[in-house]
């Protein structure tokens, strides 16, 4: 009986050491595999500006280049984001980012990083969006504020990418947490600029506006 009691004591001591000590290898952060970088093009992109009231003006979408400025903004959404939400990693150094590629030289990219903000939209928009309305369906489609309804507390400033000096990246992790993850809401984002800048558009072969994360 004494041997049995001693064996039980050893077992419970070992079990307690496992609980109190380190987790099994690969389980400390909840992920067994290293982060896998993912790149997705924004597939719903629409520029809006006060002087353009036509809902389907061909110069405002499917362009190689978009001009932004105080009176020109860009609506962006990756329509299939929500099914990916549970796989997106935001642990450690993992972030959700927007990347915009500036047309011009390194000085233009630096100026664009200082001028552009990427902000969380607070309502759904459609491709017929204009400066005055998020969609074309009557008075309910009008923005509360002309130029887009967005959360000014959820605006990210950009930094020039170390890898591509023409690319400007924006950390939108907080937008991802507050809207797609917490609310299951994929309203998208809006790019505003305090100064005139040009960025590559959604029909650009390699410099299109994109959303970056790791899984």
Q: In whole angstroms, give the CA distance from residue 55 to residue 59.
A: 11
Please indicate, yes or no, if residue 1 is contained in any of the structural domains: no
Say if residue 27's pLDDT is above 80: no
DSSP secondary structure, 114-134, as one string? HHEEEEEESS---TT--SSBS
Please indicate, yes or no, if residue 54 is contained in any of the structural domains: yes
**Residue in the block written with tokens 């005055």:** 132
Residue 126 tokens, joined: 């459609």
* Residue numbers of the domain that contains 198: 36-214
Q: In whole angstroms, give the CA distance from residue 205 to residue 171.
A: 23
Query: What phi-psi label fits residue 104: left (phi over 0), alpha (psi between -120 and 50 degrees) or beta?
Result: left
Count of domains for the chain: 1
Please indicate, yes or no, if residue 74 is contained in any of the structural domains: yes
Which of 179, 181, 208, 183 lies closest to 88 in space, CA to CA?
181
Give 82-130 pLDDT, tens digit per residue: 999 999 999 999 999 999 999 999 999 999 999 999 999 999 999 999 9
Please indicate, yes or no, if residue 28 is contained in any of the structural domains: no
Q: In whole angstroms, give the CA distance from residue 158 to residue 166.
A: 12
Mean pLDDT in residue range 190-203: 98
Please indicate, yes or no, if residue 16 is contained in any of the structural domains: no
Mean pLDDT in residue range 64-70: 98
Please indicate, yes or no, if residue 18 is contained in any of the structural domains: no
Residues 6+ apart with CB under 8 A from 104: 166, 198
Q: What's the full length of the chain, in residues?
A: 215
Please indicate, yes or no, if residue 25 is contained in any of the structural domains: no
Residues 6+ apart with CB under 8 A from 154: 119, 120, 174, 175, 178, 179
Percent residues over pLDDT 70 in the chain = 86
**What are the φ and ψ backbone dihedral angles of 125, each rounded to 5 degrees?**
-125, 160
Q: Identify whether the C-beta of residue 48 lies closer than 8 Å to the C-beta of residue 131.
A: yes
DSSP secondary structure, 82-114, as one string? GGGGGG---STT---EEEEEBSS-HHHHHHHHH
Q: Mean pLDDT score of the chain, rounded to an integer?
A: 88
pLDDT band at 53 (very low <50, low <70, confident <90, very high): confident
User: What is the number of other CB atoms lying within 10 angstroms of the CB of residue 144?
Assistant: 9
18-22, 99-103, 141-145, range with the lowest pLDDT = 18-22
Give 165-187 pLDDT, tens digit per residue: 999 999 999 999 999 999 999 99
Say if residue 212's pLDDT is above 70: yes
Please indicate, yes or no, if residue 118 is contained in any of the structural domains: yes
């Amino acid at each position: 009986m004494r041997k049995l009691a001693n064996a039980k004591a050893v077992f419970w001591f070992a079990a307690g050491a496992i609980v109190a000590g380190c987790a099994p290898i690969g389980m400390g952060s909840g992920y067994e595999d290293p982060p896998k970088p993912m790149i997705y093009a924004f597939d719903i992109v629409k520029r809006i500006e006060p002087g353009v009231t036509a809902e389907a003006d061909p110069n405002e979408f499917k362009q190689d280049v978009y001009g932004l400025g105080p009176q020109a903004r860009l609506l962006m959404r990756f329509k299939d984001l929500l099914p990916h939400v549970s796989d997106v990693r935001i642990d450690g150094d993992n972030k959700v980012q927007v990347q915009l590629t500036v047309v011009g030289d390194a000085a233009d990219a630096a100026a664009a990083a200082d001028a552009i903000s990427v902000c969380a939209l607070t309502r759904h928009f459609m491709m017929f969006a204009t400066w005055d309305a998020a969609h074309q369906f009557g008075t309910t489609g009008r923005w509360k504020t002309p130029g887009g309804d967005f959360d000014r507390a959820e605006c990210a400033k950009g930094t020039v990418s170390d890898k591509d000096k023409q690319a400007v990246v924006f950390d939108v992790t907080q937008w991802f947490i507050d809207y797609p993850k917490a609310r299951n809401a994929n309203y998208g984002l809006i790019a505003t600029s305090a100064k005139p800048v040009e960025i590559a558009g959604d029909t650009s072969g390699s410099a299109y506006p994109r959303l970056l994360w790791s899984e």
